[in-house]
Amino acid sequence: MEIQAIDAKMLSKMFLAGAGNLEAHKEIINELNVFPVPDGDTGTNMTMTIMSAAKELNGLDDDDNMEAVCKAISSGSLKGARGNSGVILSQLFRGFTKRIKTETTLDVYIISEAFQNAVETAYKAVMKPKEGTILTVAKGAADKAKDLADNGVTDLGEVFKEIIEHADYVLSQTPEMLPVLKQAGVVDSGGRGLLEVFIGAYDAFLGKEVKLDLDKKPNGEKKTSYEAQAEAEIKFGYCTEFIIMLEKNFNIKQEIDFKAFLESIGDSIVCVADEDVVKVHVHTNDPGLAIQKALKYGQLSNIKIDNMRLEHQEKLFKMAEKENAEKEKKAEPPQEVGFLAGSVGDGINEIFKSLGVDEIIEGGQTMNPSTEDILNAVEKVNAKNIFVLPNNKNIILAANQAAELTTDKNLIVIPTKTIPQGIAAVINYIPDDSVDANEENMISQISLVNTGQVTYAVRDTVIDDKEIKKDDFMGIGDKGILANGTDLNAVIIDMLNQMVDDDSELISVYYGCDVNEDDAKAVKALVEEKFPEYDIELQAGGQPVYYYVVSVE
């Protein structure tokens, strides 16, 4: 049967299904990372962006109202946007919904115009758009929609099917547009993510059920039963755990009876029997009853009882203390200038704080902060002008989006792409200079910082004409892979040889959470031996994924 238009309820259903399909394929999308490093995050970023919108949409009472549906999709995705791919996806949704929000139903012509507006909006959001990316796939879909509308095709089933087929074809051509994709043997990950959204939406249009689990933590993991209780009223107050050391046979009937007893006095029950021991966990208001019953089967060990109500109250008290401190801080006259820095790792956090940064935005390669995360951090900085240091090229777009959404403070995004660039920017801030002069000075200073990062390869590939084997160490510079091999120290030295020049004076080495202090000191000694004419600094960064982050200035 030919369907020529869809309403808001169907649009909502299709969007949620698209989100569900993207979520189901996020790990496959993560693996399409060009560099074979253990930080692929495109699928995660896009999923968390669309899930933010899906949660707002799912909470609507009037999902048959086009304007309300569009607002939930646009607002939710803008606030939840993470990483470059997530920001671009949010801009596509923003442009699409802006065109359709005043309509009652959507036919081929309106959908075609919405696609065109989506692409125009997304291209404008990117400073230097590249072809062979999610933008190209979106543009291909928009072109196909326009072509079908211009040729009088009215059946939406046929339209959606042909749009997906053409988007899939355009995606397959992305390696021909970006040589780095072809060399790595992958298609564009953002484009693949967008295609999964299209496929899920089309499945819903055809009447297929697509699962979507919105009860997840921000990092995508399920909430534990304890966390769910902490957010609601606690019915059973004592978390009780112990081990029964069986003195006689614990048969199936006894195990069933014991579990039934535990269920009668509490919840969140775990009761696992293994030969001569039984592991027990229960939330109850009377731990003594559980213990007395268990003593019938044997002696007890590892008894642990926690008052969850007190823990919850303490947590709420700490939250209230923090909230009051923030209110008091807000009540003070605002400073002229404040700083906000993206960071990852306890050591790096402490370095930024010691340099006078007011607020840290947690999140790095594998978990980019969202636009909303940045806005929440901005709210905590009591200053008229706030310098935002993303310190990661994948966070800059989200920071710029936060700046556009902030009306009561002046956000100045310094486009720092690495942690060392962010440190250099803060160090070169001059309090007596104007905001504009400092912005110009910081941007000029970060261009003088060369950054190298050392990690390992998660797959075999060829990048920058370098043949890389799985588990090789890699030294990645600002513009690509500088060194690789099986000897970590050799890779570090080879990388540094390509980073230093006649103007270099200082080499700073930040070691990660997977490196012990003695090994880091040995690396410092090696660098001092190979580069005796430079000052060498060693700092505990605590960053994940990268064994060492090195800067040359």
Closest CA to 293 of 264, 251, 252: 264
Q: How far apart are CA 128 and CA 415, in angstroms?
A: 14
Q: What is the mean pLDDT of residues 369-373?
A: 89
Q: How far apart are CA 199 and CA 197, in angstroms?
A: 5
What does the DSSP assignment read for 94-130?
HHHHHHHTT-SEE-HHHHHHHHHHHHHHHHHHSSS--
Q: For 406-465, write each residue's pLDDT tens digit.
A: 989 999 999 999 999 999 999 999 999 999 999 999 999 999 999 999 999 888 888 877
Q: How far apart are CA 182 and CA 476, in angstroms?
A: 19
Helix (H, G, I), strand (E, B) or coil at 211: coil
CB 458, CB 439: distance < 8 Å: no
Does 251 have pLDDT greater than 60? yes
Q: Strand pairing of 473-477 and 238-246?
A: unpaired
For 450-552, CATH gives 3.30.1180.10
| Residues belonging to the chain | 553
Confidence at residue 325, expressed as pLDDT on a 0 to 100 scale: 67
Q: For 476-517, write each residue's pLDDT tens digit.
A: 998 889 999 999 999 999 999 999 998 889 999 999 999 999
Q: For 309-362, write each residue's pLDDT tens digit.
A: 777 777 667 766 766 666 666 667 889 999 999 998 899 999 999 999 999 998
Cα atoms found within 13 Å of the Cα of residue 87, Cβ hemisphere only: 23
CA-to-CA dists, residue 56 to 63, 76, 171, 348, 424, angstroms: 11, 6, 30, 34, 39
Q: Specify the domain boundaries for CATH 1.25.40.340 within the chain.
A: 6-205
CB 543, CB 549: distance < 8 Å: yes
Q: How far apart are CA 312 and CA 535, in angstroms?
A: 50
Angle between helices 83-100 and 134-150 (to 10 degrees): 20
Q: How far apart are CA 74 and CA 183, in angstroms?
A: 36
Tokens of 316: 């709420």
With cut-offs at 50, 70 and 90, classify the pLDDT of residue 366. Answer: low
CATH architecture of 333-446: 3-Layer(aba) Sandwich (3.40)
DSSP 334: P
Q: For 153-207, write each residue's pLDDT tens digit.
A: 999 999 999 999 999 999 999 999 988 888 888 899 999 999 999 999 999 999 9
Q: What is the mean pLDDT of residues 275-303?
A: 89
Residues 6+ apart with CB under 8 A from 250: 244, 273, 278, 297
User: End-to-end CA distance of the chain, in Å?
Assistant: 67
Q: CB neighbours (10 Å) of residue 334?
A: 15
Q: Specify the domain boundaries for CATH 3.30.1180.10 within the chain.
A: 450-552
Q: How far apart are CA 339 and CA 388, in angstroms?
A: 6
Q: For 64-118, write each residue's pLDDT tens digit.
A: 899 999 999 999 998 888 888 888 999 999 999 999 999 999 999 999 999 999 9
With cut-offs at 50, 70 and 90, classify the pLDDT of residue 126. Answer: confident
CB 140, CB 173: distance < 8 Å: no
Q: Specify the domain boundaries for CATH 3.30.70 within the chain.
A: 233-311
Q: What is the mean pLDDT of residues 242-259?
A: 84
Average pLDDT over the chain, rounded to an integer: 88
Confidence at residue 226, expressed as pLDDT on a 0 to 100 scale: 37
Q: What is the mean pLDDT of residues 255-263?
A: 89
Confidence at residue 306, expressed as pLDDT on a 0 to 100 scale: 86
Tokens of 217: 């933590």
With cut-offs at 50, 70 and 90, classify the pLDDT of residue 302. Answer: confident
Confidence at residue 38, expressed as pLDDT on a 0 to 100 scale: 60
How distant is the alpha carbon of residue 512 from its chain centre? Answer: 20
Closest CA to 69 of 78, 59, 57: 57
**H or E element, residue 450:** strand 450-456
Helix (H, G, I), strand (E, B) or coil at 353: helix
SS3 content of the chain, % helix, strand, coil (to 5): 50, 20, 30
Confidence at residue 329, expressed as pLDDT on a 0 to 100 scale: 61
Does 367 have pLDDT greater than 60? yes
Confidence at residue 222, expressed as pLDDT on a 0 to 100 scale: 45
Helices and strands (DSSP H and E) totals, the chain: 21, 18
Q: How far apart are CA 377 and CA 398, in angstroms?
A: 13
Q: Topology of domain 233-311, per CATH? A: Alpha-Beta Plaits (3.30.70)
- Report the percentage of the chain scoring pLDDT > 70: 91
What does the DSSP assignment read for 413-447?
E----SHHHHHHHHHT--TTS-HHHHHHHHHHHHT
Q: Please, which residues bridge with residue 484 across strands? A: 474
Residue, of 215 and 200, whose pLDDT is higher: 200
Q: Please, which residues bridge with residue 410 across strands? A: 385
Q: Domain spanning 6-205: which CATH class is it, in words?
A: mainly alpha
The mean-pLDDT minimum among 12-21, 36-45, 109-118, 219-228 falls in 219-228
Q: What is the mean pLDDT of residues 282-306?
A: 91
